[in-house]
Structure 1
Amino acid sequence: MADVHGVPRLLVSVTQTAFVVRLVGLLATLVLIMGRELTPAILVGVVAAGLTSYLGLARPEYLSLVSRHPALALADLVLMAVAVGFAGVDSPLVLVLLPTALLLGLWIDRVAGGIVIVCLLAVYLLGLQATTPVDQGSFTVTAILPFVFIILWLLGLVIATAVEGERRAQAVVRDAIANAAASSERTAIAREIHDSMAKSLQGIVMTSAALPTLMERDPTGAREHASQLQAMTTQAVHQLRQIMSSLRERSSDQTLSSAVAEAAMAWQATSGRTVELAVRQDLDTEDDAVRYELVHSLTEALDNVRHHAGPCRVVVALECPSTDRLVLKVSDDGVGMSAHALTEAALAGHHGVVGIRERMARIGGLADVVSVPGRGTTVTLSVHREGLIER
């Protein structure tokens, strides 16, 4: 359930539906008073209902203001109620007041809303007693309209409660996914330290221990071992920097666009190849897990290019073909390979593509790999901005 300008989409949809019903009631009111005197109360009610309904439909970003300041919704209801009070309880403006009860339930908490409902119904019944004798013919006006008003308010409360519950559930799921991804990545980093850095450091220790003896017996061999020691040290430093970079990126405040561009430029610097960027600068996601897995999948895809594509042109593109979907592409025009070769590579222990697909699966995304021998490879990563959330 994606948000629209910070407001849950379902809440926006129900609110806009209520505004549409208000406009229909407003049109019915204008038809019913045609040929009659337009009193100031009815005029104020018509203008207020028309303006607020139009703003709610045409400018949904204003609903975020109502979310932060519920008193705005309360003011709208009070304005409509006052207009109906002055126009009379038998005024057609009652048709406009009914969907406003739904809006009251959607945007005002139950305690404040309950107090307002009680006050409005009291004013309504007092006005009814003053203007219309209570008899069997007035049962609809006396009982059914207040009953419908209460039902619509309760319906708004139920919808608002359900939306808030869904938001909390999604937040729990997002946190669980992010924690699971972080735990998995920590395990991978620990494995990488064990498999790479530990071996490199062990080699450095053994070579360093042999140097004093070699300097006495074989100075030429000692110089060669010193050169090997320097190379192993440089490699260990590079491995350590990669691990530290991974740890920093996990809590990075970068936007997705900046993180993708930085990862591509870092790969360009270490690989000696040129990367063409086609990255929209305004793209981001509020889900850390989505940003993290996309960037690391990009790094994995670029490493596959370095090891398997040969000399080629490399393009990294980040786009948003729809409002809620992110697509990251890594394309090259290198040697490529057949689908059978991809399968054989995985069986032989080359799990680059498999790892990318596993990363995307963690966040509810897809990884599509299209490779043609002699024409290159394109890796397409597609994911919802909010990750693994059912909509």
Structure 2
Amino acid sequence: MAKRERVVRMSVEQPLWRALTAYRVLTMVYAVLLFVFTREDFERPLVAAGFLAVLAVWTLATLPKVANAAGCTKRFLVADLTIALTGILLTPLADAQAQTQDGATLPTIWTAGSVLAYAIRGGWRWAGFASSLVAVANIIERGEPSRDTLHNVLLVWVASIAIGYVVEVARASERTLARALEIEAATRERERLARDIHDSVLQVLAMVQRRGTALGGEAAELGRMAGEQEVALRTLVAGGLTRRSHVSEDESQGAVVRIVDEPDDGPQDLRTLLAPYAGSRVTFSEPGAPVLLPPAAAGELAAAVGAALDNVRGHAGPGAQAWILVEDWPDEVIVTVRDDGPGIPDGRLAQAEGEGRLGVAQSIRGRLRDLGGTAELISVPGQGTEVELKVPRGKAAKR
């Protein structure tokens, strides 16, 4: 049994969370050691010691919170920033000279870790919010901030916003990479299925077609149907494995096998919608590049082509050949459906519309009219019929 491709996603954020965890521990140790070696400079060392004890316990207890994005909740971020702001505002109470000197605050550079958590978790907007609160707290703590204070505040503000922006770009790149890997894995799986189908189902259908044609009679009809299914299956394999909803009936009952792609949010490739119509009696010619239209417009145009083929099978006879030609122009998309049937007698369309048969009036012209396009039918008795469907890109995009 063949092994399926599995996409392994790597988070670009995880190294940042690890670095933040280490940063918080190291800066907590730095703040404590700074107090130990300069405690004689504090007028109220007990205030500083009490806050630093809380800071140490909080840092160690919340290490799992900054291990990943799931643990770093909004409630935690608010509490963490509150501790940092409280430490800044308590600094003058523990050391009155802090307002007249550019000394360190109680949490020192540990405060930057709290702001970085906002940046990694929520991007540059969250980082800007947190760093602005820290800036206000530092200005209040200084009373009359000096130039160095303003420089430090500006540095934290710019650095945190820059890191937040880089995180957002990294997340977008990660999503793009993951999508590319998924597409690559799906392509490999499609190729594997195509090989399996080619080695089994398609060969069996081809053999049934050859043997049925050789035997004649009812076996020849069975061979013909096997040949049509072989062509349809080859078209499906070549076009890729896409999600489709379908309504199918046997052609002997006068209906077309219709396969329609489920619409996506983005533009739809018209070729993938029309390719399933190809068969032993329907030739499909397409451009080499995708023919992109809004999903609704592409679906309506494909349905109009299906209605035209219904008319070919219903009125041109079971042996009639049909051709589908897709032309992709900058300002419009043109799809032509032509057959080699007996053609339509003059006045027959008006008579059919008067009898309530609205296949051409509604299924074809009505659909194109709703798209802002046109459907032109040219038929010469004895020379077949040609239906030209035109969809302007500008009007189709408004659908």
Q: For this structure pair, what is the TM-score category when the shorter chain's length is used for normalisation?
A: 0.3 to 0.5
User: By percentage of residues, which structure has more helix?
Assistant: 1
TM-score by length of 1: 0.43
Higher relative contact order (Cα pairs below 8 Å, separated by 6+ residues):
1
TM-score by length of 2: 0.42
